[in-house]
A and B are shown apart, each in its own frame.
Chain A
């Protein structure tokens, strides 16, 4: 809002009256650019954290050479990728080959448009926010398929087929988990889902979705999001011992960097989504003095960081699944459980909240 007034004021100084629509357009553009820059910085931090946690579990030091405590390692890696040569295989479908990483990274960025970081801190507060996120995350499979097919390589193609089957399978249980949450909250708007978990009592955290009927859904969502983002133990797409590096075998330099960026961006997105759906987003855990003074964005980022820490620990600890085990878990365990929970939650809402 303040930014809209700023643009109107600035253009009045220049002797032009700016219509409200254009002022809105300019301020949205500024917000989007700032969000993208912050997100890329966040990805740099998250990649470093991932490697540090992984190293700590294995009693190594991890990246510690570039900058203090290795803080600039990710930036150094990014620079290295940018200055390398883009190698395009001669047998590849060149347009699709270059389009695939762009599709991946664009989808990873646009998903953040509906993410509420704090009360009102959201680029686009649309009514069907959670559905939008579901749609965007179900599209991320196209980056994988296009890359695998366009590379014209056996390994990449096999990995793309694995990836498509895996992501479509776990998409189903993620969808059902989202349905339980939106039944419980009574809205598809992400801000309203967070507000539905608010309470005036002191023990605010007890009112979060995670400490309710929906607790098992957090576990299912967590594991499904590991599979959805191809993180270990479900990284069958890039199983080094079988497929060299998976669907991005043929990629080098900047296109590879885009895939890498998109992967970690999606991981962050799903951590943020989990903290909104289950951990009360920007709400403080206790409604008492020092906790309520902390801005909501800090709570949101803390929850996001906690969930990412859990993901990094899983990566460090759990060995890779076999493909049939992965499919069995998705279709025979998660799908029936989440479907049962949809029925249970609907019954809970009808019987306990709206008794006839």
Chain B
């Protein structure tokens, strides 16, 4: 009973906050509602017994990605009212994509009904005798190790690309060179002058 209650609570807040992401006028509020929906999705993962995925969703999306979203939205003065003015002409296109997604979801869901045999091979979040984390690790590092490595390489390339795009060497920038600072001695920095009274330097 408590589990069903928690499920409906999480799903209701998830859907409501997802609607608010596109409905709220202030972009900062949109991002904060997006964070709320991430949270509730993580809650649903935990209810499914996939606690590792739930925590990773919070760490990666809420802790890192959404912070950057928020950063950008706060820093840039984007006029969302201006952007939304012409949004209506894209409505048919958006509705089409939405329709395709809904049909696909229904098809994926109906497999369990049409093919009862498929239920037998349904993946379980927690196989017997293993924690969720261990089970994921065993699949990821054995059966799918090449895909895992390729995903890592893609991320590495993206990271290098981002660095290359933003790296520019500007001339005339003063940087602190700690080694040079530490190597500086009194003999290099101070000149001892013997100045006679009344003559000046």
B58 lies within 8 A of A139 (CB): yes
Report the interface size for chain B: residues with CB under 8 A from the other chain: 22
Q: Is the CB of B58 within 8 A of A127?
A: no
CB-contact partner of B62 in A138, A146, A324, under 8 A: A138
B74 within 8 A of partner (CB): yes
Contact between B71 and A171, CB atoms less than 8 A apart = no
**Cβ of B59 and Cβ of A21 under 8 Å apart?**
no
The reply to whether B56 and A131 form a contact with Cβ atoms under 8 Å apart is: yes
Proximity string of chain A (172-195) to chain B, C-beta cutoff 8 Å, 1 when within and 0 when not: 000100000000000010000000
A21 vs B2: C-alpha distance when bound (angstroms): 9
B74 nearest in chain A by CB position: A149
Interface of chain A: mostly helix, strand, loop or mixed? helix
* Interchain CB contact (< 8 A) of A128 among B2, B51, B63, B64: B51
Report how far A131 CA is from B56 CA in the complex, Å.
8
B residues touching A (Cβ–Cβ < 8 Å)? 2, 28, 32, 35, 51-52, 55-56, 58-59, 62-64, 67, 70-71, 74-75, 131-133, 176
Find out whether the CB atom of A138 lies under 8 angstroms from the CB atom of B176: no
Q: How far is the CB of B64 from chain A (nearest CB, A)?
A: 7
- A46–B8 Cα distance when bound, in Å, is 41
Contact between B70 and A145 (Cβ–Cβ < 8 Å)? yes
- In the assembled complex, the Cα of A138 lies from the Cα of B59 at a distance in Å of 7
B176 and A324: CB pair below 8 A? yes
Instruction: Establish whether residues A128 and B133, one from each chain, have CB atoms under 8 Å apart when the complex forms.
Output: yes
Complex Cα gap A138–B66 (Å): 11
* A132 on the B face (CB < 8 A): yes
- On whether A168 and B67 interact (CB within 8 A), knowing A127-B133, A138-B62, the answer reads yes
Closest Cβ–Cβ distance, residue A107 to chain B (whole Å): 11
How many Å lie between the Cα of A164 and that of B75 in the bound state? 12
In the bound assembly, the distance between CA atoms of A326 and B67 in angstroms comes to: 19
How far is B173's CA from A324's CA once the two chains are assembled, in angstroms?
14
Contact indicator per residue, chain A 148-161, by CB within 8 Å of chain B (1) or not (0): 01000000010001
Chain A 237-265 interface mask (CB, 8 Å, partner B; 1/0): 00000000000000000000000000000
A246 to chain B, nearest CB (A): 16
Q: Write out the residue numbers on chain B whose beta carbons fall within 8 Å of the beta carbon of A134.
A: 55, 59
| CB contact under 8 A between A142 and B35, given known A127-B132, A168-B64, A324-B176 | yes
